Structure 1
């Protein structure tokens, strides 16, 4: 779990750099976060803190809900609500001990700037929160519920929150059982092929379920009217040589007479040219394409 908080020099938040950093973290990249010195009220020009990508990124700040672009990057928005007297007492303790200020200057800053800014800008942003925690860090029940929610989301591999075009097949005991069999180093070649083929068929069938369709009415043998759906007609498969070939039989089993093309790619080409070979249907631009590319990973 990593946290990130960005400030610019002077009196403005560096929202643009914060957006850039968060987007990189969500893409799995590490970032160099500038450090703000509260004693001199400026950003350190030559000091940075490295933040590595993680399953959970905490973006913390009093105005973190102000910009809609920042809010759109969040999977959960939490507003920690604490009594004003508690906030002031904590501020006095922090600024006098950690930032070398005297009590009079802390109170003056609070009365002239901090309290009015909170009322005008911070408190109104409370409406954007998904969860509001009263009593702050002392509310252990609320914190436990949030932690459990995050753990549940991580356990469900909720990738659709990050990649809206990704669909994850819900795991069942049958699927877990087949994964257990093919991961067993003692499994025979015949059984490995058999259960891998079953898993591939499930993936192909699930993929076909996301293709467009139209409703169709027909007359059943007893003479009643049935409203069903008509499959997508303009369809083809594209198999990535050689791994994709293991999915071709499953696709043919579901789609009679389907055309299947082939491409050969170099995933880590030094010259940047990844496509090595292609043989595709001439009218592929008019078809819906199922890209066959199973990724087989071994456990360490």
Structure 2
């Protein structure tokens, strides 16, 4: 089966550039926009983190306030463009950090993944560097009086960067102000929006936030439409015959149906529910491990005989990722079945206003991207399939091979399963019970009692 293209909402994030003089209030404007938008996974990225590494001579000059940090060549803009391209593609990106006290990049990096909005601020974010402007969706220039900018720069550099007032003023006169007039002010012509007075212009900031909100709403509607397009009614009936290859339902014996009955009954007490869910979760995990790799091995029995058996490969690199919170109901069974397992978590929730599923939290195990990693993706119920599709996309984005993923689920709707299979035809799914329709989510509520 050929996979249908699915583009998660964190691919092609909306990138906003905020430019202006040093001290113009770029960061404050960006923070006010973020506050008004109130969108999860909004990233504020400073171009200052992309200052080039200084030579020993340049570093000594910087500590004397004699190095020119305000020319376009002071930045590694090629590296910035590469990072923005990777962010646009939905990849995990490690952003460098810069110390203004030491005038050097630090050993630490900041990891960005799953951003819905990226706000890039810096004096040269609207500079006509090859490839830069093409990656930016909205270009803003903050136009603030230069005397105000100097006053703000004095306060910032003296309080937070350990500079002397005389050095700050000398640097302003020699490099900051002349370079602004020569290089930065002309980039105002590249802006889509001009915000005079910076953070004090609440009307302009509010209009920008409203415009961005409208764009994000349209994007959410397109994403939901893309999810729905992964399956139609005719296709559902036609392709159920392919399920035996990738979708594996537990054999519905009378004993198993009895457990289903207990778990689906509203009268079942929590202690009984937890006991029987753990039983069936263990069965599901055991069946999921059937899709890992094995090798033949002979062992000697206690009586001296030879037993021809098998050994599972990749035991030391088995991971389990739970989709919070229903997927966490599998945690106990996973740990009992695979004591050496490394655990991870994903939180995907639907936006209240749009209904669009969004990635809110991500904590993946170490070594999950290694070629031999075998990953169990766990969720108690599959309804529309949106959360499972997004979670699997996260794993693939982090280097996990499709064929090394097994999705483990207790209850699943036929529609959700087919939608998931259309998006990821190489992923095995192990399910306890396939339902004709959706019964609503209740497993985690019954399991945790809340």
TM-score by length of 1: 0.55
Name the residue aligned to 2:181: 119
Q: 1:153 to 1:62 in 2, by over 3 A?
A: same
1:133 maps onto 2:182 in alignment: no
Q: Deviations over 1:146-198 (max 9, x none)?
A: 11111111110189xxxxxxxx5998xxxxxxx8xxxxxxxxxxxx97xx45x
Q: Which residue of 2 aligns with 1:63?
A: 124
CA distance 1:268–1:51, change in 2 (3 Å) = closer
Paired residue for 1:108?
A: 170
CA contact (8 A) 1:78 1:132 kept: yes
SS at structure 1 position matched to 2:216: helix
RMSD across aligned positions (CA) = 3.5
Task: Tell me the secondary structure at the aligned position of residue 43 of structure 1.
Answer: strand
Q: Which residue number in structure 1 is paired with residue 160 of structure 2?
A: 98
* Residue in 2 that maps onto 1:252: none
Please give the secondary structure, in 2, of the residue aligned with 1:77: strand
Which runs of 5 or more structure 2 residues have no equivalent in the other structure?
1-41, 55-68, 243-400, 405-420, 425-437, 442-450
Q: Report the number of matched residues.
A: 187
Alignment of 1:160-175 (within 5 A): none
Determine the structure 2 residue equivalent to 1:4.
45
In the alignment, which residue of structure 2 is the partner of 1:153? Answer: 215
Q: Secondary structure at the match of 1:148?
A: helix
Match of 1:53 in 2: 114
CA distance in 1, matches of 2:224, 2:197: 38
Indicate the residue corresponding to 1:268 in structure 2.
Answer: 402
Q: Equivalent of 1:18, from 65, 80, 84? A: 80
- Equivalent residue of 1:40, what SS? coil
Q: Which has the higher contact order (CA 8 A, sep 6+)?
A: 2
The answer for the alignment partner of 1:39 in structure 2 is 101
Cα deviation code 1:27-81 (max 9, x no counterpart): 222221111111222222x121222331111111101111141110001101111
Within 2, Cα distance between the matches of 1:27 and 1:242?
Answer: 31
**Which runs of at least 4 in structure 1 moved beyond 6 Å after TM superposition?**
none
Give the distance between the partners of 1:4 and 1:169, measured in 2 at CA.
25
Query: Is the CA contact 1:2–1:52 (under 8 Å) kept in the aligned structure 2?
Result: no
Deviations 1:257-288 (A, max 9, x none): xxxxxxxxxx9246xxxxxxxxxxxxxxxxxx
Once residues 57 and 75 of structure 1 are traced to their aligned partners in structure 2, the CA distance between those partners, rounded to angstroms, is: 10
